[in-house]
Structure 1
Amino acid sequence: EILLPGEVILKPGESYQAPALLAAYSSAGLDGVSERFHSHIRGRTMHPKRARPLTLNMWEAIYFDHDATKIKAIAEVAAEIGVERLVLDDGWFGARRSDHAGLGDWIVNKKVWPNGFTAIISDIHERGMEFGLWFEGEMVNPDSDLYRAHPDWVLNTGGHSENNWRHELVLDLTNAAAFSHVLEQVSAVLTEFPIDYIKWDHNRVVVDASNNLQAAVRNQTLAIYRLFSELKKRHPKLEIESCASGGGRVDLGVIDYVDRFWVSDNNDALERQRNQRWTGQIIPPELLGTHIGPTPGHQTGRSLSLSFRATTALFGHAGIEWDISKISNSDKAALKTWAAYYKANRDLLHTGKSIRIDYADENAYLYGVIDKKRERAIFSFAQLTPTTAVHPAQLTFRDLNPDKNYQVKAVYPAGAPLFMLIEPPTWLTGVTLSGAVLMEIGLPAPILAPENALLIEINQSN
């Protein structure tokens, strides 16, 4: 915890309790440290127990264009593909027709949703999916009913105008009245409509974090923990996703109050390969939101194959962030196969040991998960940028049983990657080798085009 000057002033007899410090040591390198953190996190009583539902968030599909017909079209395709949760993002409340207004007024906009969410939620539930909704309860727009009524409910140091960032200010949740306003309005929406999940965003940095000229970051943080706790107390089946422009709030404090982290608002799969690799050093994959985005990517403009995007999204709490109502039949078929593969293998993906191989080519990643019995593993070999090697280094694996034989093959649930020039190695169609050979000698690496990846299944044979 980084305390601002004057944030904790103790009077005689008072005490201050710092947040818990978690540290891990392992003689098995970064993966050993990662395994200890993952084991600790998975051992918590509040760790999600049920299978992580395949999620579609509609933000990059519709943005602020909340049209019920459009949303139903997305829901229809989502159900066909096998999506299990549909999330309506920003734009449903107050005067929120852009990011300039409405934050703080957590009441359904009757012009956009004249009959509320009843009909759309019913349609989504009838298709076998859960419904989720977006909030950014710690923020307020100056152009909002809340701010016009209570301009003093924001964090500021006084004596000058508030620091407006992204057209929003930070609501002072250390103020009991402001806290109650957010809690009651959010809870009212969750009570009126059958909402299974909320995405809780935080889209600006907390600066001028002062209440009555006293620093307030610590108390603001503790307040959001109390708010999450109370929401879950009132709505016991509610799941909460922590989002702060993506991964701005991923830590081992808030983790006890949420069920998922959105890794990054940059949904470009090439960037996500790096983001997910290092966020996953501490946080286990079942808590990391990893979605297939559109192409070209909305954050980078980069065009990437569905195969690469889908393989990247598989290693986490998988989902989709894309207008699937407009996709081709071939993409729809690929997504359906990928969704089925995720569901069939998520138990392994979300309970197995994460392994990141120190691959010789710094332009490629080799990583995966293996089950506790060392009988099953799924790896990804991802060529991020062009290889500089004439003959790529062998693919060697870890944590297999050296005395057992394993069947190894490549699988393509969302289509094959693009191979370069040289004929791909024959083992891709299937080979049986001992664990010792796979760990010590390995397999010839296929030469992939940049921004391509393949999945490798390793199953112990009888």
Structure 2
Amino acid sequence: AERFVLDDGWFRKRDDDTSSLSDWEVDPRKYPDGLGPLIDHVQACGMRFGIWFEPEMINPDSNIHRMHPDWALGPDDQILGRQQKALNMALPDVRDFIFDRMAAILETHDIDYIKWDHNRVLPMPDAAQTRGSYAVIDRLRTAFPHVEIESCASGGGRIDFGILSRTQRVWLSDSNDALERLKIQQNAALFLPAAVTGSHVGPRRCHTSGRILDIEFRAWVAAQRHMGFEMDPRELDAREQEVLRAVTAWWKANRDWMFNADILRLDTADPAVIAEQQLAVDGSRFVVFAGKAATSAQIAPRPLRLTRLDPSARYSISLRNRTSAPALSRGDHILKSGPVTLSGAALMQSGFSLPWNFPETMWVVEGEKL
């Protein structure tokens, strides 16, 4: 891990989601010496430090709401979302207040990352609300140019060109279920490159679906995008630790070219397979992620055809995670034995077959132009 992000709950009297949004002062009960000792410890472990804010929101049970109930957007008797209201970002006093509270934290702590959340819909559409939010973000970016911002809104509720021009990362969904993420990421690839698309390895049992998925599937799905971890690492057994280290090391070794790669969604003959090809800008290499989302109705895997290769060039392709392939009595699949050399024309016109595998698994095929 390269960065530790402190999530919701660090500010005054925030013991659940019913109170204290907008107060944005460190809770002395939880951090009697402030955030400094925690940040020092995180940095001593070789990581940078980030922190969670939900700047545009306010709880009725908060000091600021009691002082300025007129700062809330919408009527007094509105239905609350997640026990909170939205602040009226069109008001200059609100924008100044938010900036001052956030700046006070950023000025006094070595923080280089903000997870900027937005966990309820607005009580009414209001363009002035959006312009006000952009104004605060712009002001913070000017005052703290080293601080990266991730846009999160109950997951992917606010991903557009306006927010992308002001933030470095977006969060697609609050579901860390790798099976759901596989599908979400496939569709989001029409709009978003890997470099800005956060994807985290979740816990063994997903908190949103209850589904239990193998660590290899969870890790490779996260490695398709901007990889992170969102779990209690103490739950990992020895094998899970080994797999997570290996996939993370692979991602770090490849992320520089993958962040600039084109994500090409592949057509598959098997509806159970969700596949994409990430192609380097110079065409010298690619990686194919082929996830099996369900039990296949086909007796044997169908060929997977690639795209946008040089038809006259030759490519060496290899199955990165071939040691995970289940043993079958029908003999070894050629990709399970080692690299294979094929022409670009063959890869695009005929394709290649992947070894058979169980549902909720991922094949990772690396290709290099010779």
**Shared fold, TM over 0.5:** yes
Q: Which position in structure 1 is the counterpart of 2:91?
A: 175
Aligned-pair distance for 1:402?
A: 1.4
Quick check: 1:443 aligned with 2:361? no
- Decide whether the 8 Å contact of 1:201 with 1:245 is kept in 2: yes
What CA distance in whole angstroms lies between the structure 2 residues aligned with 1:379 and 1:405?
17
Q: Which position in structure 2 is the counterpart of 1:427?
A: 335
Q: Which position in structure 2 is the counterpart of 1:366?
A: 275
Q: Which position in structure 2 is the counterpart of 1:346?
A: 255
Q: What amino acid is aligned across from residue 224 of structure 1 in structure 2? A: S
Counterpart secondary structure, 2:118: coil
- Decide whether the 8 Å contact of 2:116 with 2:149 is kept in 1: yes
Partner deviation per Cα, 1:257-303 (whole Å, 9 max, x = no partner) = 11100110011000001111111211111100011101111110001
What CA distance in whole angstroms lies between the structure 1 residues aligned with 2:273 and 2:14?
43
Quick check: 1:239 aligned with 2:148? yes
Aligned-pair distance for 1:326?
A: 3.2
1:154 aligned to which of 67, 72, 77: 72
Aligned-pair distance for 1:330?
A: 2.1
Counterpart secondary structure, 1:346: helix
- Decide whether the 8 Å contact of 1:92 with 1:109 is kept in 2: yes
Q: CA RMSD in A?
A: 1.6
Aligned-pair distance for 1:398?
A: 1.0
Aligned-pair distance for 1:348?
A: 2.0
2:5 aligned to which of 74, 78, 87: 87
What CA distance in whole angstroms lies between the structure 2 residues aligned with 1:206 and 1:423?
59
What CA distance in whole angstroms lies between the structure 2 residues aligned with 1:326 and 1:270?
20
Aligned-pair distance for 1:239?
A: 0.3
Aligned-pair distance for 1:105?
A: 0.5
Q: What amino acid is aligned across from residue 53 of structure 2 in structure 1? A: F
Counterpart secondary structure, 2:98: helix
Q: Which position in structure 1 is the counterpart of 2:170?
A: 261
1:384 aligned to which of 289, 293, 296: 293
Q: What amino acid is aligned across from residue 195 of structure 1 in structure 2? A: I
Q: Which position in structure 1 is the counterpart of 2:59?
A: 141
Aligned-pair distance for 1:130?
A: 0.8
Aligned-pair distance for 1:424?
A: 5.3
Distance 1:395 1:92, change over 3 A: same
Q: Which position in structure 1 is the counterpart of 2:41?
A: 123
- Decide whether the 8 Å contact of 1:308 with 1:417 is kept in 2: no
- Decide whether the 8 Å contact of 2:216 with 2:244 is kept in 1: no
Quick check: 1:317 aligned with 2:226? yes
Q: What amino acid is aligned across from residue 252 of structure 2 in structure 1? A: K
1:177-326 paired onto structure 2 within 5 Å: 177-208=93-124, 217-326=126-235
Aligned-pair distance for 1:121?
A: 0.8
What CA distance in whole angstroms lies between the structure 2 residues aligned with 1:400 and 1:348?
17
Counterpart secondary structure, 1:166: coil
- Decide whether the 8 Å contact of 2:155 with 2:174 is kept in 1: yes
Q: Which runs of 5+ in 2 are unaligned?
A: none
Aligned-pair distance for 1:237?
A: 0.3
- Decide whether the 8 Å contact of 2:52 with 2:117 is kept in 1: yes
Counterpart secondary structure, 1:360: coil
Counterpart secondary structure, 2:335: helix
What CA distance in whole angstroms lies between the structure 1 residues aligned with 2:57 and 2:138?
19
Aligned-pair distance for 1:373?
A: 2.4
Counterpart secondary structure, 1:147: helix
- Comparing both chains, which one has the higher relative contact order based on Cα–Cα distances under 8 Å and sequence gaps of 6 or more? 1
Counterpart secondary structure, 1:355: strand
What CA distance in whole angstroms lies between the structure 2 residues aligned with 1:290 and 1:280?
13
- Decide whether the 8 Å contact of 1:96 with 1:102 is kept in 2: yes
Counterpart secondary structure, 2:222: helix
Aligned-pair distance for 1:420?
A: 7.2
- Decide whether the 8 Å contact of 2:23 with 2:64 is kept in 1: yes
Distance 1:137 1:420, change over 3 A: farther
Identity of aligned residues (%): 35
Distance 1:396 1:100, change over 3 A: same
What CA distance in whole angstroms lies between the structure 2 residues aligned with 1:369 and 1:388?
27
Quick check: 1:132 aligned with 2:50? yes
Question: What is the TM-score normalised by the length of structure 2?
Answer: 0.96
What CA distance in whole angstroms lies between the structure 1 residues aligned with 2:147 and 2:167?
10
Aligned-pair distance for 1:391?
A: 2.6
Q: Where has structure 1 moved over 2 Å in runs of 4 or more?
A: 415-424
Quick check: 1:327 aligned with 2:236? yes
Counterpart secondary structure, 1:114: coil
1:390-405 paired onto structure 2 within 5 Å: 390-405=299-314
- Decide whether the 8 Å contact of 2:151 with 2:158 is kept in 1: yes
Aligned-pair distance for 1:310?
A: 0.9
What CA distance in whole angstroms lies between the structure 2 residues aligned with 1:372 and 1:153?
48
- Decide whether the 8 Å contact of 2:10 with 2:30 is kept in 1: yes
Quick check: 1:453 aligned with 2:369? no
Aligned-pair distance for 1:329?
A: 2.3
Partner deviation per Cα, 1:21-63 (whole Å, 9 max, x = no partner) = xxxxxxxxxxxxxxxxxxxxxxxxxxxxxxxxxxxxxxxxxxx
What CA distance in whole angstroms lies between the structure 2 residues aligned with 1:107 and 1:316?
33
Counterpart secondary structure, 1:253: helix
- Decide whether the 8 Å contact of 1:250 with 1:261 is kept in 2: yes
- Decide whether the 8 Å contact of 2:199 with 2:222 is kept in 1: yes
Partner deviation per Cα, 1:219-269 (whole Å, 9 max, x = no partner) = 110111110111111111010000001100011111111110011001100
Distance 1:405 1:181, change over 3 A: same
Aligned-pair distance for 1:419?
A: 6.9
Q: Which position in structure 2 is the counterpart of 1:43?
A: none
Q: Which position in structure 2 is the counterpart of 1:18?
A: none
What CA distance in whole angstroms lies between the structure 2 residues aligned with 1:226 and 1:368?
38
